[in-house]
Structure 1
Amino acid sequence: MELRHDEAGARFLAEDAGEVVGLIDYALAGDVATFTHTETDPARQGRGIAGKLTSFALDRARELGWRVIPQCPYTARFVADHPEYADLIA
């Protein structure tokens, strides 16, 4: 599985053999990224894809100097469960 940041599409992607199996959409305003939606291919749920992708997205946000608004319920729950990302919350 490959995790990547599609800056032009304002999303983070999880791909398997070129097929998108997970995504996180965001809206960027200055240096604040609002994570609006997390989605995993229903046939692949329960395999940890969303968690790996969320960690990747939050790590990338940190690298870019972004603050994050976890509007998406999945992201909000993830950050609550992983206090190492609490410093990113705008």
Structure 2
Amino acid sequence: MNDATIRHNPERERFEVLVAGNVIGKAAYKDYDGGSSPQRIFYHTVINEEYGGQGLAGKLATAALDETVSAGFRVVPVCPFIKKFITKNPEYASDTAPIAPAHLEFLNDVLAPRARA
């Protein structure tokens, strides 16, 4: 799909795919202070069903990971799609941090209040 654009929306902590100005997909993250280096935990990636099968999720992942690595973050792939994408694109492996219990506890703490709202 040639009319899709990808942008980083740091205020909403996500990378977005837009078609005709409408968000049709996203890769959501939370930044985490991992001590030795900043980390970005990707926890959810989705493309609207009607846009599936067009390679947009891969383009979204590429843009999100490239910008994250360029900004000096290590990637924590909690999201199954991002994890699988990194497996298929090993050039990102050296910029990945293993998922630790602290990452999952952090996500639970920061995402749980939204789920209750």
Q: Secondary structure at the match of 1:39?
A: strand
Contact 2:16 2:25 in 1 (8 A): yes
How far apart, in 1, do the equivalents of 2:7 and 2:73 lie? 17
The structure whose Rg is larger is 2
Q: Which runs of 5+ in 1 are unaligned?
A: none
1:37 corresponds in structure 2 to 44
Give the structure with the larger strand fraction.
1
Provide the alpha-carbon RMSD of the alignment.
Answer: 0.7
How far apart, in 1, do the equivalents of 2:71 and 2:78 lie? 19
Write the deviation string for residues 52-83 of structure 1: whole angstroms up to 9, x where unpaired: 00000000011100001100000000000000
Write the deviation string for residues 28-56 of structure 1: whole angstroms up to 9, x where unpaired: 01310000000001001000010000000
1:25 corresponds in structure 2 to 28
**When the two structures are aligned, how many residues end up with a matched partner?**
90
Normalising by structure 2, report the TM-score: 0.75
- The answer to whether 1:73 aligns with 2:80 is yes
Report 1 or 2 for greater relative contact order, CA contacts < 8 Å, sequence distance ≥ 6. 1
Q: Secondary structure at the match of 2:46?
A: strand
- The answer to whether 1:2 aligns with 2:20 is no
Contact 2:7 2:17 in 1 (8 A): yes
Q: Which runs of 5+ in 2 are unaligned?
A: 98-117
Give the structure with the larger helix fraction.
2
Of all paired residues, the percent bearing the same amino acid is: 37
2:64 corresponds in structure 1 to 57
Normalising by structure 1, report the TM-score: 0.97
